[in-house]
Copies of this chain bind each other. A is one copy, B any other.
Amino acid sequence: MSDLISALTGRGLEPVTDADVLAAHSVDHAALVLPGRAAALVRARSTEEVSAVLRVAAEFGAPVVPQGARTGLAGAATAVDGAILLDVSPMDRILSIDPVNRLAVCQPGVLNAAITVAASEFGLRYSPDPGSWQISTIGGNIATAAGGMCCVKYGTTPEYVLGLEVVLASGEVMRCGRETAKGVAGYDLVRLFCGSEGTLGVITEATVKLSPVPAGRLSLAAVFGTTADAGRAVTAIMAAGAQPSLLELIDNVHLRALEALRPMGLPTEAAALLLVAADANPAEELAAIEALCTEAGASEVYRATDAAEADALLESRRNAYHAMERLGTVLVDDIAVPRSRLAEALDGVQAAAARHGVVIGVIAHAGDGNLHPNIIVHPEDPASLEAGRAAFDEILEMALAMGGTITGEHGVGMLKRDWLAKELDPVNLAVQRRIKSALDPLGILNPGKVLAG
Interface residues as binary, A135-168 with B (CB distance below 8 Å gives 1, 0 otherwise): 0000000001101000110011011000000001
Q: Are B407 and A168 in contact (CB under 8 A)?
A: no
Interface residues as binary, A24-39 with B (CB distance below 8 Å gives 1, 0 otherwise): 0000000000000000
A19 at the interface (CB under 8 A from B): no
Chain B residues contacting A416 (CB-CB under 8 Å) are 185
Q: Are A192 and B195 in contact (CB under 8 A)?
A: no
User: What's the nearest-Cβ distance from chain B to residue A278, in Å?
Assistant: 12
Q: Are B182 and A336 in contact (CB under 8 A)?
A: yes
Copies in the complex: 2
CB contact under 8 A between A407 and B100, given known A174-B427, A435-B438: no
Q: How large is the interface on A (under 10, 10 to 19, 20 to 34, 35 or more residues)?
A: 35 or more
Interface residues as binary, A430-452 with B (CB distance below 8 Å gives 1, 0 otherwise): 01101111110000000000110
Interface residues as binary, A183-209 with B (CB distance below 8 Å gives 1, 0 otherwise): 111111101101110001000000000
CB contact under 8 A between A180 and B336, given known A186-B450, A424-B185, A425-B175: yes
Closest B residue by C-beta to A410 = B184
A340 at the interface (CB under 8 A from B): yes
A280 at the interface (CB under 8 A from B): yes
CB contact under 8 A between A180 and B412, given known A186-B450, A241-B123, A432-B186: no
Q: Are A432 and B189 in contact (CB under 8 A)?
A: yes
Q: Are B168 and A427 in contact (CB under 8 A)?
A: yes
Interface residues as binary, A361-392 with B (CB distance below 8 Å gives 1, 0 otherwise): 00001011110000000000000000000000
Q: Are B432 and A187 in contact (CB under 8 A)?
A: yes
Q: Are A338 and B182 in contact (CB under 8 A)?
A: no
Q: Which of A101, A181, A406 has the most CB of B within 10 A?
A: A181
Chain B residues contacting A403 (CB-CB under 8 Å) are 179-180
| CA A183 to CA B438, docked complex, whole Å | 24
Q: Are A186 and B427 in contact (CB under 8 A)?
A: no
User: What's the nearest-Cβ distance from chain B to residue A297, in Å?
Assistant: 17
Q: Are B192 and A188 in contact (CB under 8 A)?
A: yes
Q: Are B434 and A438 in contact (CB under 8 A)?
A: yes
Q: Are A187 and B435 in contact (CB under 8 A)?
A: yes
Closest B residue by C-beta to A182 = B408
Closest B residue by C-beta to A176 = B428
A298 at the interface (CB under 8 A from B): no
Chain B residues contacting A180 (CB-CB under 8 Å) are 336-339, 368-370, 403-405, 408
Q: Are B439 and A179 in contact (CB under 8 A)?
A: no
Chain B residues contacting A336 (CB-CB under 8 Å) are 178, 180-183
User: What's the nearest-Cβ distance from chain B to residue A20, in Å?
Assistant: 33
New A-B pairs, 13, CB < 8 Å, besides A431-B438, A434-B439, A437-B438 = A98-B338, A101-B339, A122-B239, A172-B427, A180-B337, A180-B404, A181-B336, A181-B369, A181-B370, A183-B405, A184-B411, A185-B406, A185-B407
**26 contacts across the A-B interface (CB closer than 8 A):** A98-B340, A100-B235, A100-B239, A101-B369, A123-B240, A144-B184, A158-B188, A173-B427, A174-B427, A174-B431, A176-B431, A179-B338, A181-B339, A182-B370, A182-B405, A182-B408, A182-B409, A184-B407, A185-B416, A186-B420, A186-B432, A187-B435, A187-B436, A188-B194, A189-B431, A212-B241
Q: Which residues of A contact B (CB under 8 A)?
A: 98-102, 122-124, 144-145, 147, 151-152, 155-156, 158-159, 168, 172-176, 178-189, 191-192, 194-196, 200, 212-213, 235, 238-243, 280-281, 336-340, 365, 367-370, 403-412, 416, 420, 423-425, 427-429, 431-432, 434-439, 450-451
